[in-house]
Amino acid sequence: MIRGYARAKQLLAEAGYPQGLDPKTGQRLTLFWDNALITPSGRVQIGLIARQIAALGMHLESRSWRYPVFQDRVDTGQFQLMNYGWVADYPDPENFVFLLYGPYQRPAANASNYNNPAYNRLFEQMRAMDDGPERLALISQMREIAVQDCPWIYLHHSESYGLTQPWLKHYKPHPIALDTMKYIGVDGAMRARLQREWNRPNYWPLIGIALVVLVGSVPAVQVVRARHNRHVRRAIGRDCLMLRYIIRRLLYAILILISVSLVTFVLFYASSSPQQIARRNLSAKNPTPQQIEEWIHQHGYDRPRWQQFKEHMSQLFLLRFGKSDASGERYLGTHWDRRSSCLFCWLP
């Protein structure tokens, strides 16, 4: 790029405009650029080209039009510079080199009105030939002539990216040809099978929400019933009332603990599958499918969900809050060790 700028500045000086200045007026040269770049990405491209022209000491004034207006200005030659592109209609070099053939001047395909007799003779000789080394040599000569005369400033060549499903067959993108769609096939059986595997309904979140609503409504029902039956209550001793209150609160606490644990358990499996959990814990080892299955079996994630929940609740009532999948340490012991270390740090 640096060499390109140096060469461009040298050509400007040889043409009598050193540093992009008109020696007669002392003003910078202004280039008027007609284009159809009216989108946000187009404005980014305009800014890029303007900065490159400014680096040569010249000013670029962009004139962006809606495409019908722009095309009309190109066809009638109402431009100094214009922005254009081309997509091949068929996969042959002739579909590109004919854009500079003199007799095809605008409003035909040669929008730049380029006309070089040497280029025209080579084109007429080339297009009557079959593919082969001799034809390729003529095309190379034509290209060299166009590069030296520079009727075009080559800006960019687009790259395309595509994602396909495994059931799509015979998909081979071509950089030029536009007729590859007719060769594509679809494996309907594979598509249906994979869709069934990927779209299995997961009812656990819905069941968890229903259980939370059900358990949460129990205290409200009890309160309503107590208020309704308050006027028929028999006198009960104060100690008996306190005992009933404590027992009721303990039962509520157990129900809340079970419901919260169930919801947590359901959300845990709804957010991550056992395979994902295994990959997270074995990510530093680049695990194989066999290692993942062994890890899942070792940590008990391959057992039925109800068995895992039963063990989880039994451990919870024994004040055992489980172990870390990564280190195997008990959560309560690790938490107490860290808290005790903090206490020791603060003690005088």
Q: Which helix (H) or strand (E) holds 286?
A: none
> Concatenated DSSP letters for 46-63?
HHHHHHHHHTTT-EEEEE
Q: How far apart are the first and last CA of the chain?
A: 67
Angle between helices 238-271 and 204-228 (to 10 degrees): 160
Residue 344 burial (CB count, 10 A)? 8
SS3 label, residue 329: coil
| Cα–Cα distance for residue pair 121/331, rounded to 1 Å | 84
Q: Is 91 helix (H, G, I), strand (E, B) or coil?
A: coil
Give tens-digit pLDDT for 2-15: 457 888 888 899 99
Q: Which residues pair with 110 in a beta bridge?
A: 105
The pLDDT score that the predictor gives to residue 143 is 93
- φ/ψ of 158, rounded to 5, equals -70, 150
Residue 237, φ and ψ in degrees, nearest 5:
-60, 150
Q: How far apart (Å, rounded) are the C-alpha atoms in residues 154 and 96?
A: 13
Specify the CATH number of the domain 1-83: 3.10.105.10
Q: Which two tokens stand for residue 279?
A: 């990959």
Q: How far apart are CA 334 and CA 324, in angstroms?
A: 10
Q: How far is CA 186 from CA 191, 192, 195, in A?
A: 8, 11, 14
Please tell me the distance from the alpha carbon of residue 225 to that of residue 177, in angstroms, as a whole number.
Answer: 78
pTM of the model as a whole: 0.52
Torsion angle of the four alpha carbons 280, 284, 290, 291, in this order, in degrees rounded to the nearest 10: -90
Residue 105, beta-bridge partner list: 110
CA 198 to chain centroid, in Å, comes to 20
- Report domain extents, the chain: 1-83, 90-158, 168-197
193: left (phi over 0), alpha (psi -120 to 50) or beta: alpha
Residue pLDDT tens, the chain, 348 long: 445 788 888 889 999 999 889 888 889 999 999 999 999 988 999 999 999 999 999 999 999 999 999 999 999 989 999 988 888 888 888 999 999 999 998 888 899 999 999 999 999 999 889 999 999 999 999 999 999 898 988 887 778 888 888 899 988 887 777 778 888 999 999 999 888 888 877 777 777 777 777 777 777 777 767 766 665 455 444 556 667 777 777 777 777 777 777 777 777 666 677 777 777 777 555 677 777 888 788 777 778 877 777 776 777 666 665 666 665 666 555 444 444 444 333 434
Furthest CA-CA distance within the chain: 119
Q: What are phi and psi of 34, to 5 degrees?
A: -90, 135
Distance CA(23)–CA(45), nearest Å, equals 31
Instruction: Report the pLDDT value the prediction gives residue 8, as an integer from 0 to 100.
Output: 87
Q: CA 195 from chain center: how many Å?
A: 22
- Contacts for 114 with CB less than 8 Å, ≥ 6 apart: 100, 102, 105, 146, 149, 151
Model pLDDT for residues 159-193, shown as the tens digit of each residue: 888 888 889 998 888 777 777 888 899 999 999 98
